[in-house]
Amino acid sequence: MDEFKQSCVKCGDTPNTLCRNKNEDLFCLKCRLIDLESLCVNMKHENKLSALDLIKDHVPDIVFKKVSKDPPEGLVAVYLKPETVDFIKSMALRMATQNNRMTATPYFFTIRETSVVTAADGRGDSYEFLNRDCDATYTIEEMREYINDRVEETDEDVADDDSDTLTKETLLDLLDRGCLDELADALDMELLELQTIEVNTNGFFTEKAAEEHLEQRGHRYREGSSVWLEAAPDNPEMDAVWDLIMQIGELKNWRK
């Protein structure tokens, strides 16, 4: 049976508006209201809640309406809440008029931030020393300060019991000559080879939404994070979503 000609499962009427409950049953609004009032009683909140209090939680955003005539051939009629349509229309206008940075649609905006990760041997761009005893890390410059402070306090803490050559000067010489593996072994530390990479987080259809998100939630990202545009070529799912948004926004010739 055509969905737009279905009737209320409770009273059998075929009103202009039908809505679904969580079991996918179709109700007219009058019967749905009675159904929700009954739910209030079952929940024992009759003194605190009414059906109107619950209707926002139980009536879905998408409401199927019976239309006076069938939609045009090849099309399906879907009715959305007015506020949902207004939001999508506003978003569609931004998408169609924003700076696409000479990128063909579809595309999306993301938050780009830098991240430091462990690199494969020989592929790192920086090094750090890991002190397993206190789970602390030191950059090369911080290691220089560590050697100066530690050796000056007590030579025995950094020198081998079997060797008297691991003096402050010897350790600094290893550091200056770039013998980082030897230095790490001498100090009983682990040498970490690190690489700085760019990471894209989250996704937005409009640059404005991405900028507002970064302004409001910037504390969740690393310092220096920025809005970045990413192309989505040969992506039929993204292309279909763009097309749907523009149809709801009633915009034509929007492709760039």
pLDDT tens sequence across 37-92 = 565 555 544 444 444 455 455 544 444 444 445 667 777 777 788 888 889 999 99
**SS3 sequence of 96-123:** HHCCCCCCCCCEEEEEEEEEEEECCCCC
| Ramachandran class of 218: left when φ > 0, alpha when ψ lies in -120 to 50, beta otherwise | alpha
Q: Which of 18-22, 209-213, 236-240 has the lowest mean pLDDT?
A: 18-22
19: exposed, middle or buried (C-beta count within 10 Å: 0-12, 13-18, 19+)? buried
pLDDT at 105: 92
pLDDT at 118: 80
pLDDT above 90 (res 111): yes
**SS3 sequence of the chain:** CCHHHCCCCCCCCCCCEEEECCCCCEEEHHHHHHHHHHHHHHCCCCCCCCHHHHHHHHCCCEEEECCCCCCCCCCCCCEECHHHHHHHHHHHHHHHHCCCCCCCCCEEEEEEEEEEEECCCCCCCEEEEEECCCCEEECHHHHHHHHHHHHHHCHHHCCCCCCCCCCHHHHHHHHHCCCHHHHHHHCCCEEEEEEEEEEEEEEECCHHHHHHHHHHHHHHCCCCCEEEEEECCCCHHHHHHHHHHHHHCCCCCCCC
Between CA 217 and CA 221, with CA 220 as vertex, the angle to 5 degrees is 105
Distance CA 185, CA 146 (A): 15
Tokens representing 199 are 């990471």
Q: Whose CA is closest to 248, among 106, 124, 87? A: 87
pLDDT band at 33 (very low <50, low <70, confident <90, very high): low
Instruction: Find residue 197's DSSP bridge partners.
Output: 115
* 105 alpha-carbon distance from chain centroid: 21
More confident residue, 134 or 41: 134
pLDDT tens sequence across 221-250 = 888 899 999 999 999 999 999 999 998 888
pLDDT band at 21 (very low <50, low <70, confident <90, very high): low
Looking at residues 181-208, what average pLDDT do you find?
Answer: 90
Q: Are 254 and 107 in contact (CB under 8 A)?
A: no
Q: Are 133 and 211 in contact (CB under 8 A)?
A: no
Place of tokens 């009675």: 34
Looking at residues 208-233, what average pLDDT do you find?
Answer: 93
Q: Where are the domains of the chain?
A: 3-80, 82-114+199-248, 133-188
pLDDT band at 94 (very low <50, low <70, confident <90, very high): very high
Looking at residues 184-192, what average pLDDT do you find?
Answer: 89
